[in-house]
Amino acid sequence: METDVVMVDRETSDTGRMLRDIRREVELTRRMIGREQLSLRVMTAIERVPRHAFVAPEMERYAYDNGPLPIGYGQTISQPYIVALMTDLAEIESGFRVLEVGTGSGYQAAILAELAAEVYTVEIIPALERRSNEVLESLGYKNIHARVADGYFGWPEQAPFDAILVTAAAPRIPPPLVEQLRPGGRLVIPVGDFFYGQDLMLLEKNSRGEVKSTAVLAVAFVPLTGDR
C-alpha cells in the first residue's frame, strides 16, 4: 500500500536525518546483522510513514530521533533502526500476509502495510489498540486488521502467515507462532530477559516444517505480556 501523506519541509528534513541514522547504524553493526545495507523497499517504506503521527504531541520533537519513545502503559515505539532491521529480516514481499504481535503505537504495522498485501496485528492493551486504530485509519491504511488479544497465541484463524514480527521480548519463542508460520516463512522476535540480555532472533521454516534459528543482534525490548 502507498499512503497519500504529504510532508512539510521540516518533516522531510527530519525523515532524511532518521534515514541517515539508520544507514549509519547498519554500517556499525553490519558484521553482526550479516548485511551491508537494508533493502530499498524497506527504506522507502520507512521514508513514507510519518513517524510523528504515532507519538504524543509532547514527543513529536523527538519522533525522528534514532531511539525508542514512551507511548504509555509501559510500552514504547521502537528505535527506527530496529524497526527497519526487523522489517528487513522478514524479507516481506508484496503478496505476503504478515502477523505482527504487539501493535503498540501502530508504527510497525504501518511500515509492514507499505510492503505486504495484508497485515494482521494483535495488541493486548485495549487503549493502545483503539489509539493505534485511529491513527492508522486517519492515514488511510485499508490492509491492516487489528484486534485485542494475547499475542502469545497469534491469530490462528488467519494463519498461516508468510512472516511474523514480534515487537516485545519473550522468554522463549511461543510455539503457536511457529505453528502459524508457513513453510518458507520467517519469524523475527526478541528473546530473553530485560535484565539478563535479549537477542533478536530470526527463525526460518523450510518446506519440511523444520526450523532454523539465528541470533542476529543484542537488543532491549519491553517484555511480552499476557497469561503465558
Measured distance CA(69)–CA(115) in Å, rounded:
24
13, 39, 78, 138: which is the annotated catalytic residue?
78
Joined grid coordinates for residue 70: 514512551
Q: Is 213 a catalytic residue?
A: no
Question: Under 8 Å CB-to-CB from 221, ≥6 apart: which residues?
Answer: 78, 167, 168, 169, 190, 194, 198
Measured distance CA(102)–CA(155) in Å, rounded:
12
Measured distance CA(56)–CA(158) in Å, rounded:
32
Question: Under 8 Å CB-to-CB from 55, ≥6 apart: which residues?
Answer: 62, 63, 69, 71, 77, 105
Q: What is the DSSP letter of 104?
A: T
CB 109 within 8 A of CB 146: yes
* Three-point CA angle 25, 29, 34, nearest 5°: 125
Q: Which residues are catalytic?
A: 78
